[in-house]
Amino acid sequence: MAKGLLIVNLGSPVSPQTKDVRRYLREFLSDQNVITMPKILWQPILRGFVLPFRSWRSATFYQHEWTQAGSPLIAYTQVTRDRLRQALPDWDVQMAMTYGGQYPIAASLQAMAARGDRPIVVIPLFPAYTQSTTKTILEKVAASGVKTLNVEHFYEQSAYQKLLAQQLDDAYIQGDYDAVIMSYHGIPTAMVRHGDPYQQACEATTAGVKRYLTKVPPAIVETCYQSKFGPVPWLKPYLRNRLVALAALGKRRVLVTTPSFVTDCLETLEENDVQNYQTFRANGGKVFKTVRPMNGSPAFCAFLATLAKEKVAAEVMRHDQAK
């Protein structure tokens, strides 16, 4: 009997073709943890307006980023899984995706349980908990019927914050930057008003990383949010608006890191490296550099392996104390 570890990422279309992107977006945007509008109102909008226009446009973006290994998000999650298998040779390490039909969560857990894995640790690859990502994962884990130990967030872990700080320091010394932006995936402000802890977690991440910086002046580090979708207010400042403002203020050399993304994806490769780069340059910016996500780095995988082992150890201690 082996211990089990399931890492879970968002997911990806099975191909960059419009029909597959449309199928993926329909599943993703039908999740009421993502779009909280009542289905009776949202589904006609989704099917009648959003999918017909967004699917082909998103497909062109996926085609730009697609590699021989497939979707970068899937490929880098596979790298993470494989390195975790090396770090945890006595564990059964698997990966799953929330959407897209590849590596389904419930089926992955049920197969692990059938092999006798016990305990099974689940780590969503989202450092901070939020309704629109982690909550759906935990719901699907619960629906599998398999008993698990869940790591709901790890943004507060000093080891993770040190990894982010080291990435920033290494990138910063390669250029002379006027501003360093920690850009997190945004969520609607309504979610925060209803108790979602995500904004607090993002701000705590930035504050924590600043404590471990040795090359980057903490005073030039700021927090922004990206990937806004729809007309409702999302967390601010919006990255794109801030880039325009920085250029206008004469801060024309910018370094951007994305702590809420642990693998490259549409938001890092297309939204930042192409669209936000173009926006910054068009408004007078000179240098726009991005720090790559963890992408299965050995140090990050070692951190995840330690996190899994600590989760099991804590459960053993809790069980012993309950006796």
Q: What is the DSSP string of 186-235?
A: P-BHHHHHTT--HHHHHHHHHHHHHHH-SSS-GGGEEEEEE---SSS-BS
Task: Please tell me whether 267 is known to bind a ligand.
Answer: yes
CB 169 within 8 A of CB 257: no
Q: In whole angstroms, what is the distance from residue 8 CA to residue 109 CA?
A: 11
Rg of the chain on CA atoms, in Å: 20
**116: phi then psi, degrees, rounded to nearest 5:** 95, 10
- In terms of C-beta density within 10 A (0-12 exposed, 13-18 middle, 19 or more buried), how is residue 4 classed? buried
**18: phi then psi, degrees, rounded to nearest 5:** -55, -40
Q: Give the single-character DSSP code of 67.
A: B
Q: In whole angstroms, what is the distance from residue 294 CA to residue 159 CA?
A: 13
Annotated binding site: 185, 267
Annotated binding site for Fe(2+): 185, 267
